[in-house]
Homo-oligomer: A and B are copies of this chain.
Amino acid sequence: MEGPRRPAPAAGVARIAVDLLGGDHAPAVVVDGALRACSADAQLHLLLVGPHAVAEEIIAMLPDADRDRVAVHPVDGVVGMADPPMRAVRADTSVRAATGALADGRVDAVVSAGHSGAAVTAAVHALGRLRGIRRPALAATLPGVSGPVVLLDVGATTEAHAKVLAQHAALGVAYAQALYGIAAPRVGLLSTGTEPDRGDRARRAAADLLAAPDALSGDAVYVGLVEGYDVPLGGPADVVVTDGFTGNVLLKGVEGAYALAGGAPPPTVARAAALLGVPGTVVVCHGRATGADVASGIALAARLHRTGAADRVARSVSSATAATLGEVTT
4 smallest beta-carbon distances between A and B, as pairs? A228-B252, A263-B264, A261-B261, A257-B257
Contacting residues, chain B, for A267 (C-beta < 8 A) = 260-261
Check B253–A82 contact: CB distance below 8 A: no
Give the residues from 247 to 284 in chain A that come closer than 8 angstroms, CB to CB, to chain B. Answer: 248-267
Contacting residues, chain B, for A257 (C-beta < 8 A) = 232, 253-254, 257-258, 261
Query: What string of 1s and 0s marks CB contacts (under 8 Å) between A191-207 and chain B?
Result: 11101110111010000
Contacting residues, chain B, for A227 (C-beta < 8 A) = 249, 252
Interface residue A32 (Cβ < 8 Å from any Cβ of B): no
Chain A: how many interface residues by the 8 Å CB criterion? 50
The CA-CA distance from A245 to B232 in the complex, in Å, is 18
The CA-CA distance from A41 to B248 in the complex, in Å, is 41
Check A250–B248 contact: CB distance below 8 A: no
Contacting residues, chain B, for A81 (C-beta < 8 A) = 193, 195
Where the two chains meet, the residues of A that have a C-beta atom closer than 8 Å to any C-beta of B are 81-82, 84, 145, 155, 158-159, 190-193, 195-197, 199-201, 203, 227-233, 242, 244-246, 248-267, 287
- For the complex formed, measure the closest distance between the CB of A33 and the CB atoms of chain B, giving whole angstroms: 20
Contacting residues, chain B, for A195 (C-beta < 8 A) = 81-82
Contacting residues, chain B, for A246 (C-beta < 8 A) = 245-246, 249
User: Given A253-B253, A260-B145, A260-B267 in contact, is the A287-B232 Cβ separation under 8 Å?
Assistant: no
Contacting residues, chain B, for A256 (C-beta < 8 A) = 228-233, 254
Contacting residues, chain B, for A249 (C-beta < 8 A) = 190-192, 227-228, 242, 246, 249-250
A-B contact pairs, 7 of them (CB 8 A): A81-B193, A229-B259, A231-B256, A253-B253, A254-B256, A261-B264, A261-B267
User: Given A195-B81, A261-B263 in contact, is the A229-B248 Cβ separation under 8 Å?
Assistant: no
The chain B residue sitting closest to A81, CB to CB, is: B195
User: Given A81-B193, A158-B192 in contact, is the A260-B248 Cβ separation under 8 Å?
Assistant: no
Contacting residues, chain B, for A155 (C-beta < 8 A) = 192
Check B200–A228 contact: CB distance below 8 A: no
The CA-CA distance from A249 to B151 in the complex, in Å, is 13
The chain B residue sitting closest to A151, CB to CB, is: B253
* Besides A228-B255, A249-B249, A257-B258, 7 new A-B residue pairs in contact (Cβ under 8 A), listed by A number: A81-B195, A155-B192, A191-B245, A232-B259, A257-B261, A262-B264, A263-B263
- For the complex formed, measure the closest distance between the CB of A164 and the CB atoms of chain B, giving whole angstroms: 13
Contacting residues, chain B, for A266 (C-beta < 8 A) = 261
- For the complex formed, measure the closest distance between the CB of A201 and the CB atoms of chain B, giving whole angstroms: 7
Check B200–A229 contact: CB distance below 8 A: no
User: Given A228-B253, A261-B266 in contact, is the A248-B196 Cβ separation under 8 Å?
Assistant: no
The chain B residue sitting closest to A157, CB to CB, is: B200
- For the complex formed, measure the closest distance between the CB of A286 and the CB atoms of chain B, giving whole angstroms: 9
The CA-CA distance from A203 to B159 in the complex, in Å, is 11
User: Given A158-B200, A199-B245, A244-B192 in contact, is the A251-B228 Cβ separation under 8 Å?
Assistant: yes
Check A228–B248 contact: CB distance below 8 A: yes
User: Given A263-B261, A264-B263 in contact, is the A228-B250 Cβ separation under 8 Å?
Assistant: yes
User: Given A82-B196, A253-B228 in contact, is the A233-B259 Cβ separation under 8 Å?
Assistant: yes
